[in-house]
Amino acid sequence: MKPDVLVAYPLRPRQMAELERLYSLHRLDLAAPEDREAVLAKAGPVCTAMVVNGHVTVDRAFLDQLPNLRLAACSSAGFDQMDLPEMTRRGIRLTNTSDALVDDVADMALTLMLAARRRLIEADAYVRSGEWGRQGMFPLTTSAKGKRAGIVGLGNIGKAIARRCEVLGMEIGYSGRSQKAGVDHAYFADPVALADWADVLLIATPGGAGTEGLISAAVIDALGPEGTLINISRGTVVDEAALIAALQAGRIASAGLDVYLDEPNPDPVLTALPNVVVYPHHASGTEETRDAMAQLTLDNLAAFFAGKPVLTPVN
Ligand code: DGY
């Protein structure tokens, strides 16, 4: 008999077909919340595993409906909508897919940095508008080479960003909970000190408990009028009102953002600013990476049902 699996968030078609083949699926249709209770009532007693994503709220009330759940195979890096301590307390193992998206997310951090610093979006509009040649030269921008990249959170993504920044000839500093052994980049215990040192602040810390507002008004202002803030982490990590105020007043030069406090409806004041480059929380959104994330989720399920250690445990 096929094991029962709750699908709280769908994978890509190829991996959904594989899930269908291997398991008896109970699907929560996010677009049909009225069916939710009925699906959970049926799935709750029989499902020991679920496929989920960081955008799904997994709180006590949800967990109460899944008393036999032992594995939450999350097809994203982030799990900030999940009550991880409660899951751990109930003996539920969480896996994620951060290993699969490191390079694409780091690439996007660099893309946003260069686009913001070289004013790519404004330049694109300038050429398309026919203003080129009529209104003098497009303003000069700033080089990456010789500048300082301050990375908040030197995990796998932070390290991948550091490698790319080094290739551009940038100096690297970082902040985090503790200094990393064997890393010779400059360490700053305090993000304000890191921002004060850096020309570009790149936020790569995982979101969730304890990181809300970590990038405060004081951190943003310490970056200074030539500084750029890049966020590929979570919107909640940055004091977004302070960021908007600093960008409007020219207390920092620019920002490049993949994430926002309110998704998918970022503050229109923020998105109207010319010195911000915006991306729709899609840094991992390539064919290759989404495929690898879905496959890793399947592999974690397979390991769990085979009684083997899961591949990428979080707790
Ligand atoms: C992740 O995997 O957490 C990315 O932010 C996409 O949601």
Residue with the smallest CA separation from ligand 1 atom 7 is 76
- Decide if the complex's ipTM is over 0.85: yes
Rounded to two decimals, the pTM is 0.94
Residue with the smallest CA separation from ligand 1 atom 6 is 76
What are the tens digits of pLDDT across the range 9-39?
Answer: 999 999 999 999 999 999 998 777 778 888 9
Question: Which domains are assigned to the chain?
Answer: 4-96+288-305 (3.40.50.720), 102-278 (3.40.50.720)
- Which residues, judged by CB distance below 6 Å to any ligand atom, belong to the binding site of ligand 1? 54, 76-78, 101, 284
* Distance from the alpha carbon of residue 264 to the mean position of ligand 1, in angstroms: 14
| Nearest ligand 1 atom to alpha carbon 78 | 3
Q: What is the pLDDT of residue 136?
A: 81
Q: What is the pLDDT of residue 180?
A: 95
What are the tens digits of pLDDT across the range 65-104?
Answer: 999 999 999 999 999 889 999 999 999 999 999 999 999 9
- Name the residue of 107, 281, 284 to mutate for ligand 1: max ligand atoms within 8 A of Cβ: 284
Task: Give the chain as a 3 state SS string.
Answer: CCCEEEECCCCCHHHHHHHHHHCEEEECCCCCHHHHHHHHHHHCCCCCEEEECCCCCECHHHHHCCCCCCEEEECCCCCCCECHHHHHHCCCEEECCHHHHHHHHHHHHHHHHHHHHCCHHHHHHHHHHCCCCCCCCCCCCCCCCCCEEEEECCCHHHHHHHHHHHHCCCEEEEECCCCCCCCCCEECCCHHHHHHHCCEEEECCCCCCCCCCCECHHHHHHHCCCCEEEECCCHHHECHHHHHHHHHHCCCCEEEECCCCCCCCCCHHHHCCCCEEECCCCCCCCHHHHHHHHHHHHHHHHHHHCCCCCCCECC
What are the tens digits of pLDDT across the range 217-258?
Answer: 999 999 999 999 999 999 999 999 999 999 999 999 999 999
In this prediction, residues 122-132 reach a mean pLDDT of: 94
* Distance from the alpha carbon of residue 259 to the mean position of ligand 1, in angstroms: 10
Tell me what percent of the residues of the chain surpass a pLDDT of 90. 92
